[in-house]
Structure 1
Amino acid sequence: MRQNNNPIFLVDDDPFHLEMMTHILEREGFQNIVSFSNGVNCLEQIHLNPEIIFLDYQMDVYTGYETLRKIKRYNPNFFVVMVSAQEDIDSAVETLKHGAFDYIRKNENLELKVKEVLKKITEIREVMNAEKPSFIKSIFKFL
């Protein structure tokens, strides 16, 4: 996945998980990775317009769910991926209903799941970027 200049945000109160996610993203070619131990610190820096936000579901101060809702109020177009040890389907559904791009579990398949999500985001961005020129061209054809 090709990265723009905007950072990737990692938000998790578990230092081990932050380190593990940082290594996964670095192996995928990302360099501008910013880690936060809670949602409050993340929200204070949201003006940096992160490319993707990986957000832990279970945290102190603001939960991941509360942080997600505040992020989406700021910019509904941010790609927010919930990451959780929870196996609760209701939690996953609730976050997806409130704008999370995806919900992945912290388990032995984490690296594979992160790669899959990055691939999906890349594909969506390519489609979005490809449609703009064709739409503009179609307007000029009718003029």
Structure 2
Amino acid sequence: MHPNKNIKVFLVDDDAFNLTLTQQQLLNLGYANVAAFENGTDCLNNLAEKPEVVFLDHTMEGVTGFDVLKKIRRVNPDIFVVMLSAQENMNTAIDSLKYGAFDYIIKGPQQGNKIENALERITEIMVVLKKTKLPAWRRLLSFI
């Protein structure tokens, strides 16, 4: 297994079918260190496990994806958060990125490919970041 596929990944989706589907897609890609949560609160309560990537459903009952995203960014800005949504709304995608999401993926037939692409980009960034000694917020600015 490629060493970068050992990263800790959290999945958060209140739809059990989508949660299982996404988890299986990650397993098929070789990512075995995956924790699944059916709501944002459980995800936030487990951030001490130090996930490196969080795939986060946008529309959830109770605590919304935006709420979880904002709290993750406050707790640990080094976590890569990828929003997953059934909404093809440009404003929602822009807001996700504005609040600190790394990417915005629309659920559907191409979801697996888009997840793989996002993880490849994240892995590339992680390799570069490990080579530098700058604080994370400074390192991310170098990509802009």
State the identity as a percent: 44
Query: Which one has the largest radius of gyration?
Result: 1
State the match for 1:98 in structure 2: 99
State the match for 1:8 in structure 2: 9
Summarize the alignment of residues 32-51 of structure 1 with structure 2, pairs less than 5 Å apart. 32-51=33-52
Instruction: Kindly report the root-mean-square deviation, in angstroms, between the aligned alpha carbons of the 2 structures.
Output: 1.2
- Three-state SS of the structure 2 residue aligned to 1:94 is helix
Deviation at residue 61 of structure 1 after TM alignment: 1.1
Aligned length: 131
One-letter code of the match for 2:5?
Q
After TM superposition, what 4+ stretches of structure 1 lie above 3 angstroms from structure 2?
none
TM-score (norm: length of structure 2)? 0.86
Unaligned residue ranges in structure 2 (runs of 5+): 134-144
State the match for 2:136 in structure 1: none
- CA offset digits 1:60-91 (Å, max 9, x no partner): 11100111001111011110000000011101
Rounded to whole Å, the distance in 1 between the matches of 2:42 and 2:54 is 13
Rounded to whole Å, the distance in 1 between the matches of 2:95 and 2:57 is 14
2:52–2:78 contact (8 Å) kept in structure 1: no
Unaligned residue ranges in structure 1 (runs of 5+): 133-143
Deviation at residue 3 of structure 1 after TM alignment: 3.0
Summarize the alignment of residues 81-120 of structure 1 with structure 2, pairs less than 5 Å apart. 81-120=82-121
Rounded to whole Å, the distance in 2 between the matches of 1:108 and 1:20 is 11
- CA offset digits 1:38-78 (Å, max 9, x no partner): 10111010111102100000001110011100111101111
